[in-house]
Every structure is written in structure tokens, then in C-alpha cells.
Chain A
């Protein structure tokens, strides 16, 4: 199998597992997400298990990846190289956190729930895309 096709098929499969995992975990549900963030109210801690479980398995993946010279279908790993904890990182994360709290949606669940036919999801995704484009126009060549 040629590598380009292998990369596309593995990305498709990984995306599907990711979307299934989001659906199983409860992360698709904005009410649950807001319940998780409602630390001073009716706190629903269950979503902490999503992050915990995901990080443990991803950690195993990262550890295995460090033993490979290159990924199976690629010649090199594409990993972030920036190390600095700078203002864009903190301001951007704070702005994201405010939006996440307001809507109960982050990018993965927003895209995944497009398939469920709610009218609000495409609206949110469109606004999110506009937000990204506004950033990229104003901070072209800036941090990623």
C-alpha cells in the first residue's frame, strides 16, 4: 500500500475512533461539559475521567513514539517546537476557556456533533471558523 493512501486511511480511522470516543464519553453534550466546569455549583466530575483516560493512553503512545526513528507511514514526526510560556499562549487559552464555558463546546465535539443534525452546531462551527480566520488575518505568521 502506498504511504499517501495509508496516511489518509489511518487519519480517517483515527478520526472515527476519536469521534466515537467523544460520543461515548459524554463530551459531545454541552450540558455535561458545563456541569464539569460548574465547580462551585452542581459539579459533575465525570468528564475528568475522559481527560485522565485519554492522557494515560496518549502517554503510552508518546513513549512508544520516542522509540521509533520515524512514524510508520511518515519520514518524520511533526511535533510542536515552541517551549516558551508566553502571552499569546495564556491569553489565547483564557479566551478559549471563556468561549468553552459559554457554549459548552470545544472544537472536537463541535465538529463531531455536526453529524447529529442539531441546528445549533453548524452555527457554532461557522462562528468558530470565522474566529480562526480573524486570528490568522491579524496575526499572520504568528504562533500556532
Chain B
């Protein structure tokens, strides 16, 4: 099976998770929002439970397939720290990330989320272009 099928199947499951969280709990499965609310002191137990599940998911994958999912990190750690700071700050300022804006925002046909997705895709593409240009 090609990686396209795995990607599609994974995407369908991500969508299923987001749809179920909305139908059952009435909440947007936006990961940056969930983390941000927990850090902000909004200790809604369901927020914590979702994140615990998120961490368990790849372990279920490991049990199911008998190997861990491929994860290759090539960037040096100082770059990862800068990346983390930007991702944290940016997702709070921009009210969402690939899940909140990307999955649910687009599914809700929100023009705001559409603008956010186009913006972070362009910024990401330009960043990788510059990284490659400088050989990183």
C-alpha cells in the first residue's frame, strides 16, 4: 500500500476524531487551543483526557503494527527550540493551527480559517525553501 493510502486513512481517522468530539462534547479538536487553555489554567478534565489520548495514539499504532511510526528529526536542537517558540506564540496569536483552522475551520467553511490555512502554508513553504537554499 502506498503512502498515499496510509495518509488518506490517517486523515479520515483524524476527521472522525474531530467529528466525534464535536458531536459528543460540542468542542473543536484544535490542539493548540486545548494546550493553551490547559496552560492558561482552564483545567477542564476533558482537555487533559484528550491530550492523554493523543499521546496514547502512537502507542496503539505500535501495538497494532508491531513497530513505531517513522519519525526522523534532522534539524539541530537550537533550530527546534526556535521553531517551538514560534509555533507556540503563532498558534496562540493566530487562534489555531493545522487542526483547529486546518481541519475544523475548513470543514466549517470559515473564511477566517481559510485565510489562516493559506497564510501558514505559504509561510511554511517559503521557510522550507529558504532552509533548503541554505543547505539545512
A residues bordering B, Cβ < 8 Å? 4, 6-32, 34, 37-41, 46-62, 64-65, 68, 70-74, 76-80, 82-85, 88-108, 110-116, 118, 120-121, 123-136, 139, 142-144
Contact = CB atoms under 8 A, between A and B. Distances in A.
Interface residues of B, number: 105
Given A10-B20, A132-B32, A142-B93, 18 more contacts: A9-B49, A14-B24, A17-B13, A26-B6, A26-B69, A28-B69, A31-B73, A46-B4, A79-B108, A80-B95, A88-B95, A89-B95, A96-B91, A108-B54, A111-B35, A112-B54, A131-B85, A139-B93
B114 to A, nearest CB: 9
A60 B32 CA distance: 23
Interface in B86-136: 86-95, 97-99, 101-104, 106-108, 110-112, 115-117, 119-129, 131-132
Interface of B: 3-4, 6-29, 31-33, 35-36, 39-40, 45-47, 49-61, 64, 68-75, 77, 79-95, 97-99, 101-104, 106-108, 110-112, 115-117, 119-129, 131-132
A2 to B, nearest CB: 13
B83 A24 contact: no
Contact of A102 (B25, B77, B131): B131
A94 B123 contact: yes
Contacts of A10: 20-21, 24-25, 46
Q: Which of B51, B61, B98 has the most CB of A within 10 A?
A: B98
Chain B binding surface, main DSSP class: helix
A144 B95 CA distance: 5
B38 to A, nearest CB: 9
